[in-house]
A and B are shown apart, each in its own frame.
Chain A
Amino acid sequence: MIGLARDLFAHSIVTLSWWLIGILGMGVYVIAVYDSIAGIQDLQDLFDQYPESIRDLFGDVDLSTVNGWIQVELLSWIPLVFGMYGGIFAAGSISRETEQRTVDFVLGLPVSRSQFLGSRLAVGLVNLGIMCITLFLLMVIGVALTGHSPSAGRYAFALLNAYLLGAALFSGYVLIASFTDEQARVTGIAIGATLVLYIATGALNAADAPNWLQWLSPFEHYHSAEIMSGDGVPILPQVVLVVGGIIAASAALYSYNRRDIAS
């Protein structure tokens, strides 16, 4: 499995680099412009006038602080990127293998299906981790370079929460890819589902939907705003994301081990 994962990782680096360039570009831009907008009261007023559901999505924070600004402009949407990356990676490394029949080569070797799928899960999780670590370093270094005091602990926990959310979404998309052979279909489902879940989280909040319904959305368990505001790290949502991810990954392994791989 290590050999398979190493091979996949080596060949995912170019694509990962482009995602990192995009994320870093946005991160640099957000941090760089903070000083020029920090004193604009109108911006905070505008934000305060947003519907509650939208503010819930971004996080109800003080936009005049650097942490509040980073939360609204970067951390509030970064799980969307992680979710989309996870879906595209799952489609490309699992469904595409069946669609293009390269899976015949790999599973013609003494490699179990669990090892095959496990290597895909492992590399996807590592790549998401690399994105988070890169963002963390950017935030710490970038905020320090702009003359402010970085809150490394808050950044780390907020990004850990984002990572767990991204990992849970990725595991869900691996589950879909485990029984869907068309790469384009899985990619479409993953991107669509990520956006719908993100928007539905705010909508359910605004509609005062029952708690159990809100809990079904993975984004409901993302609390970067509280973490960035210094309100502590809620533990239960992290546990829910970990358990959800494990359940989805286990279901994917079960499904992939039982399915037929036709020619």
Chain B
Amino acid sequence: MQNPFDTAERKAFRESVEAFVAREIAPFANEWDEAGDFPWELHRQAGALGLFGFGIDEAYGGLGFDDAFMRMDSGVTLAYTGAGGVNASLGCRNIMTGPIAKLASEEIRRAVLPEIISGREGGALAMTEPSGGSDLSRMKTRAVRDGQGWRISGEKTFITGGMKARWYVVGARTGSEGFGGISLFLVEAGSQGFNRTPIKNKMGWWASDTATLHFDDCYVPAGNQLGEEGLCLLAIMENFNFERLALASGCLGMAKRCLDDAIGWAKERETFGKPLIRHQVIRHKIADMSMRIDALEAYLRAIAWTMNEGEMPAAELAKVKVLGSTTAEFCASEAMQILGGAGYLRGQAIERIYREVKVMAIGGGSEEIMRDLAVKQMGL
């Protein structure tokens, strides 16, 4: 089908990202995942390509424009490799540069953003705590005033990109209970009282660095406070909307890969004297996968168009994230079933995607929280 929203620039960007992924990521996806790491150079290459600069002014190293379709296309293309861990570590900065661009002082914006957007340095958003993730209003990490600055105490966990980042956008309670008492701070790795430990033995995303962060009276200068005290979660809600667009796009890429690999295998593999693809039971699976993928893609495009028109369809972004992760989960399961024993082997994309669909259903707002939010956003 044709995409009514496509333009020459979007196509050119998509092809550039495809070529980049095919040459620089796909051949190493398995090796990096097994090693639990990938070379930092890839961050720089992805930065040079322009993957990290959407919606951020050129003065701070950004692109100077935004385009939800290009965000979507790059999310799809990167996820299609099935190198979820690599994508997570590359992309995690995109959920922390927005708050800096929006809330930080001019001095910090100029010092920090170009480093992160170019991929020279890493950045991570630190919200989830050992005692809770989705329910941010009960955040326990505290920041108290100390002279010209703040002292932060508490713990953050499941922080993607958390072992290698140089800067962290950290949520901490500065006031009363609930959403209204939370402020944001920029914390630099190496600050006194700041420590990080790696989280090992993840089910997926092996190539990505995930951390628990420890703040032990960690001193932060007053200038590193982002935005007004107590108003920050409201201010970064928009940021979560972009995260949902990225995650749902990633789910679309994963689902597409599942379908393509399943079709490839079904054409090749013969059972009962004919290729799998000639068996009705397999053909129906392919129809089921394909129709869900088409629906997800069409939904995402309508959302991207709406976002480009200047609206923020928060309910739809919550719903599309659920549609995304459920579609990816369905397609991964069906593809695995079609691949049979071959799919069960480590070292190929479908096996990795099958393990990694769960993080898409949990991270960036769980499916349950997304459904609640969607209905709330629908005014009910």
Tell whether A pairs with B. no
State the B residues within 8 Å of A (CB).
Answer: none
